[in-house]
Structure formats: C-alpha cells, structure tokens
A and B are shown apart, each in its own frame.
Chain A
Amino acid sequence: MTKFFPQGRAVVYLLGALLLPTLACAADDPTVRMDALEAAAKSAQSAGDNAWMLTSAALVLLMTGPGLALFYGGLVRKKNILATMMQSFTMMAVITVLWAIVGYSLAFGEGSPFLGDLRYLFLNGVGAAPNADYAGTIPQQTFMVYQLMFAIITPALITGAFAERMKFSAMMLFMILWTLVVYFPMAHMVWGKGGFLNAFSGGAVPSFDFAGGTVVHITSGVSALVCALYMGKRVGYPESSTAPHSLVLSFIGACLLWVGWFGFNAGSALAASGLASSAFVATHFAAATAALGWMFAEWIKNGKPSVLGGISGAVAGLVAITPASGFVKPMPALLIGFVAGLVCYFMVAVLKHKLGYDDTLDAFGVHGAGGTLGALLTGVFATNAVNDALKDASGKPAALGLVDGHAAQIVNQAIGVAIAWGLAIVGTFLILKIVDATIGLRVTKEEEIEGLDLVLHGEEGYTMES
C-alpha cells in the first residue's frame, strides 16, 4: 500500500484536450488557464479515486460480514453457527473503536520503523485533506477507513482456529490485545511511513506486500496455529467430529470473499488506476486456477472433486495472490493460484491430519501457508513492467523480482515472512497465556457439548417453531 503516481496521467492530458477549447474562450492569460486546467484534472482524478476507494472499503468489509461469517459459519456444527458468525461480527464493532482511538495512529503515524506514534490519536487531523505519504489523491479519511477494514478482517480470520470452543469474553480480550501487539506493528513495518519492511518508504529491508500477504494472512494464519496448539482439540476430535452443517452457507460466503477481494487487492492501488486494473485481474486469475488446482488434487486423491474443495481452493489462491497482486503479470498470477491450490490442499487435507492438530477451519493451512507461499513467490514474479513506483538511484523504475533480474528480492521477502511468523508466534503465545491466566480461554467440556449458541448467546440459529 504505497503512494502510486497516476498511470492516470493520461486522464490529465485527455481532460486538457477536452477543456482547452472551452477555456480558450474565457480568460486570456495562459497561466491562469493552465492552473484552472490542472485543478480540474486533479479534481476529476480525486473523484474517481475516492469513489473507487470508498467502494473498495465497503467491499473489504463485506468480506468479513457476511463473507467470512458465512464461510466459517457453514463449516461448523449447527449448534455453533451463531457463535461463529458473532466472532466475525464482533470484530466489525470492536476493532473499529480501537482503530478510531489509537489504531490508525499506531499503524500509520510515522513514529519508529516498528510502530507508529500517537499523532493521529482520536483521528486527530484525519479529514478531507489527502495524506501525501500514503495516497495523494483521496481524503485521508478514506485511506483511514479503507485500512480499518483490513484491521477488522485480520483478527476475524484467526477465529477459524478455535471455532466451537472459545469463550466470548476471552475472544474479545484476545483480539484487542492481538491487534495491538501483532497487527499494528506489522502493518506499520510493511505499509507505514518509514516502516522497517516498507520498500516504498526507504525501509531497511525493502519487501513487497501489495495488499497484506504478510500483514494479514501470515500473521493471522500463524497465530491461528499457535491458538490451535495452545488451546487443544475440540472434545471428541477427531473421532466424533462432524461434517460441515451447511456447505450452502459456506459457498455463499466464499463467493462473497472472492468478489470482496477485488476491494482488498485492487483497492490497494489506492487509486482508480491501471495498477488497480492489473491487481484486479491478477486477483481473479489466481482465484480461478487455485480452485481448479484444489479440485484436481481431490479428483485424483478421492476420485471426486468437491464443492468444499473448489471454494477452499479459490480462497487459497486469493490469499496467495494478495501480496503479489500489484506486482505480477496475469500469466504468473494463473501460476501462483494453481500452486497455491495444490499446496494448501496438501496442508489442509494431508498434513494437518498427519500431524493431528485441530485447526478447526484451516486458518493456518489456507492463510498461514498460502500467505507464506504468496509472499515468497512475489519475490520471484514482481516486475516493474506492472508496477514502476519504486525508483532506483538514477530515478528509473527499479528491478523488482527475479523476473526483473533481482533474485535477491526473494531474500527480502523471506525476511518479511520470518518477521511475520516470529511476531505472530511470540505475540500470540504471550497473549494466550495472559488471557488464560486471567479469565480463561475455553468453555467447559459440558458447555462445548451443549453448543456455544445457547451457552454464550442464549440463542438458536435454527428453531423448530415457524
């Protein structure tokens, strides 16, 4: 997420060509006319960019509610559907408040290379004026609220690991602490001004993460694994575990995720630009081949491709393309997706069962593994033919990834990945210990058997009475 200078330079020239005849009849002074022209072009550009970015923000929120809520909800048992959806929904509420008060500042205030400062506490100074460090053509408020949607969905993803067994109060406390300790620093390092890993802001380790492969998927996926291992398996897992209670809901959720992801990735161009188009295409292509990859793997292993496999594959591809989306061409995107489909299938359907941990909804297998894969492949396929925002010492577009002749980028990517893993593991472990020691993490065995909808929320998802 960086400042990209408009490929919409074309817009300026086009508008100039259209407006020039009109203005020629008006004031005679060419300087005045040029100024008016530039202002009009900027205004048109801003309008287009802001419209797209507000739409993208809405699309990303849709990914959480109801996208993720349904995707996860359909996969759990009927007695836990509401509690599972409530976990995503609560993030929409709680993280918003945290972001408004201090989160945006800690992530995007300049501060140190590792964490922002408090200049934007209570969103001080965040209004209609653009913040040129991040997105020079849209109100800073738009940028802030767009980023908020990422902060919402990241902790929501983790809930997949401990579905069907975590206390609601413990979950809320965990998520607040996790967002503070893991998400804000990681977001700052990768996207914040002066961030340690921010290639576009002079970071010491210049890594590329267009829309959050490390910030969102690796942190949440790896944290999910830590949670699954620390909290332990569900009662009766795996012998008496049950199939998804409604793949219909999961299907709907997955499709909402796919469409919403256009806001997630293409919106990370922070403008209605050619780069946004490129990211949109790469995102879609990766989802398609990943779905096919997972389905083919199942077809070969089980004799039948499944619907759950198809939608899981698509999500895996979307995860993997996330860091790469604004850096790679369409054909590599097809490849990245296909590989992600195969790799995540293996992680979820083979390795998890072999190792025996209960990552209930495969948050690690899809997001942790997919994000790691995507972040590394970004180092391979990133090219300045797609994204020329990074300049070298002589002011020309810098070579990005291996395909540009800069294989060393893979090392930078690996460092970013390692930091994400490390922060997630250490941060999550500490927070789990704290929450467990204070209010306890899991519901009792009896409560788990009865079902969280009744126990935690006093409700039933589906009642017999009509």
Chain B
Amino acid sequence: MKKIEAIIQPFKLEEVKTALIAAGVEGITVSEVRGHGRQKGHTEVYRGHEYKVDLLPKVKLEMVVPDAFVSPIIATLRSAASTGKIGDGKIFVATIDDAIRIRNGDLNEAAL
C-alpha cells in the first residue's frame, strides 16, 4: 500500500476530487494548509501597515491506495490539478505499513 499526498491549488479541489473518485479512489482526506514555495506571496496593507504574506493557502489531499493504483492516480492528479503555472503543487508517495478499518478490524487492502 502507498500513501499519496497531493498539495494542490484550492480552486482545483472540486475537479481533482471528482477525477479521483471516478478513477476508483474510495477514501480521501482533505485539509486546508498554507504553503511556501516558488510561488510568490503578496503584500496586504492595513491602516498603513504592510504585511508580507508568503504562506499561501493550499489544499492537501491524502489517500492510501494499493500499489497498483499509484501510477494511474498520479496521472489523474496531474491531469486534473495542473494549470501549467508555478504554484500548481506537488505529489509525494510513501509506503504504508498497515491499514485497519476501525468498525470491524478489516486489514490492509481490505481496509482501503
């Protein structure tokens, strides 16, 4: 099993989620995060005081999938999340040791 972590632009969330579900991913966890990378931030001014904002809002999706799914999911993600501009995000893949369903104790691939 592998965990795929994708950090994407917030406005891409609907499109990406739809594509992932269509591709057969059953469980996805989504969180709102802030990120710093090559994309430049911006300056906000409040009553004359300037604040440099270089942590930008992003959305992180996490999903644990069987090994065979990894390549197709990466392709799906790139296709749905990409705009071609800096700030599109990144995908990370890590190995998962165990997966357990809380309700009934199903293990590993059966729990996904």
**In contact, A244 and B46 (Cβ under 8 angstroms):** yes
**In contact, B49 and A309 (Cβ under 8 angstroms):** no
Once the chains are docked, how many angstroms separate the CA of A309 from the CA of B48? 9
- Chain B residues, CB < 8 A from A362: 47
A310 to chain B, nearest CB (A): 12
**In contact, B51 and A309 (Cβ under 8 angstroms):** no
**In contact, B48 and A243 (Cβ under 8 angstroms):** no
Once the chains are docked, how many angstroms separate the CA of A163 from the CA of B110? 55
Once the chains are docked, how many angstroms separate the CA of A306 from the CA of B50? 13
Once the chains are docked, how many angstroms separate the CA of A353 from the CA of B48? 8
Q: Which of B44, B49, B51 contacts A353 (CB 8 A)?
A: B49
Q: Which of A241, A244, A349 contacts B48 (CB 8 A)?
A: A349
A280 to chain B, nearest CB (A): 29
**In contact, B48 and A352 (Cβ under 8 angstroms):** yes
- Tell yes or no: B86 within 8 A of A by CB: no
Once the chains are docked, how many angstroms separate the CA of A462 from the CA of B105? 35
Per-residue B-contact encoding for A289-312, CB less than 8 Å = 1, 0 else: 000000000100010101011001
Q: Which of B44, B45, B46, B48 contacts A350 (CB 8 A)?
A: B48
- Tell yes or no: A95 within 8 A of B by CB: no
- Tell yes or no: A59 within 8 A of B by CB: no
**In contact, B48 and A306 (Cβ under 8 angstroms):** no
**In contact, B47 and A312 (Cβ under 8 angstroms):** yes
- Chain B residues, CB < 8 A from A349: 47-49
Query: How many residues from B make CB contacts under 8 Å with A?
Result: 7
B86 to chain A, nearest CB (A): 24
Closest B residue to A309 by beta carbon equals B47
- Chain A residues, CB < 8 A from B51: 242-243
Once the chains are docked, how many angstroms separate the CA of A426 from the CA of B103? 70
The interface residues of chain A, by DSSP majority, are classed as helix
- Chain A residues, CB < 8 A from B46: 243-244, 306, 308
- Tell yes or no: A238 within 8 A of B by CB: yes
Per-residue B-contact encoding for A157-174, CB less than 8 Å = 1, 0 else: 000000000000000000
Query: By CB atoms of chain A within 10 A, which of B47, B49, B51 has the most?
Result: B47
- Tell yes or no: A348 within 8 A of B by CB: yes
- Chain B residues, CB < 8 A from A348: 47-48
- Chain A residues, CB < 8 A from B48: 348-350, 352-353
- Chain A residues, CB < 8 A from B45: 298, 302, 304, 306
Once the chains are docked, how many angstroms separate the CA of A309 from the CA of B46? 8
- Chain A residues, CB < 8 A from B44: 243
Once the chains are docked, how many angstroms separate the CA of A353 from the CA of B51? 13
Once the chains are docked, how many angstroms separate the CA of A306 from the CA of B43? 13
Per-residue A-contact encoding for B38-79, CB less than 8 Å = 1, 0 else: 000000111111010000000000000000000000000000
A224 to chain B, nearest CB (A): 15
A459 to chain B, nearest CB (A): 25
Once the chains are docked, how many angstroms separate the CA of A352 from the CA of B45? 14
Per-residue B-contact encoding for A328-359, CB less than 8 Å = 1, 0 else: 00000000000000000000111011000000
A117 to chain B, nearest CB (A): 44
Once the chains are docked, how many angstroms separate the CA of A312 from the CA of B49? 14
B34 to chain A, nearest CB (A): 14
> For window 237-262 of chain A, which residues contact chain B by CB distance below 8 Å?
238, 241-244
Query: By CB atoms of chain A within 10 A, which of B44, B46, B51 has the most?
Result: B46
- Chain A residues, CB < 8 A from B49: 238, 241, 349, 353
> For window 5-54 of chain B, which residues contact chain A by CB distance below 8 Å?
44-49, 51
Closest B residue to A244 by beta carbon equals B46
Once the chains are docked, how many angstroms separate the CA of A309 from the CA of B44? 13
Once the chains are docked, how many angstroms separate the CA of A242 from the CA of B44? 11
Closest B residue to A348 by beta carbon equals B47
A367 to chain B, nearest CB (A): 14
- Chain B residues, CB < 8 A from A306: 45-46
A289 to chain B, nearest CB (A): 19
Query: By CB atoms of chain B within 10 A, which of A243, A306, A352, A353 has the most?
Result: A243
- Chain B residues, CB < 8 A from A302: 45
Once the chains are docked, how many angstroms separate the CA of A339 from the CA of B51? 28
Closest A residue to B45 by beta carbon equals A302
A163 to chain B, nearest CB (A): 14
Closest A residue to B53 by beta carbon equals A243
- Chain A residues, CB < 8 A from B47: 308-309, 312, 348-349, 362
- Chain B residues, CB < 8 A from A352: 48
- Chain B residues, CB < 8 A from A242: 51
Top 8 A-B pairs, shortest CB-CB distance: A349-B48, A243-B51, A348-B47, A302-B45, A349-B47, A243-B46, A308-B46, A353-B48
Known contacts A244-B46, A353-B48; 7 further A-B pairs (Cβ under 8 A): A243-B44, A243-B46, A243-B51, A302-B45, A306-B45, A349-B49, A362-B47
**Sampled A-B contacts (12; CB under 8 Å):** A238-B49, A242-B51, A243-B44, A243-B46, A243-B51, A298-B45, A308-B46, A308-B47, A309-B47, A349-B47, A350-B48, A353-B49
A interface residue numbers (CB < 8 A to B) = 238, 241-244, 298, 302, 304, 306, 308-309, 312, 348-350, 352-353, 362
B interface residue numbers (CB < 8 A to A) = 44-49, 51
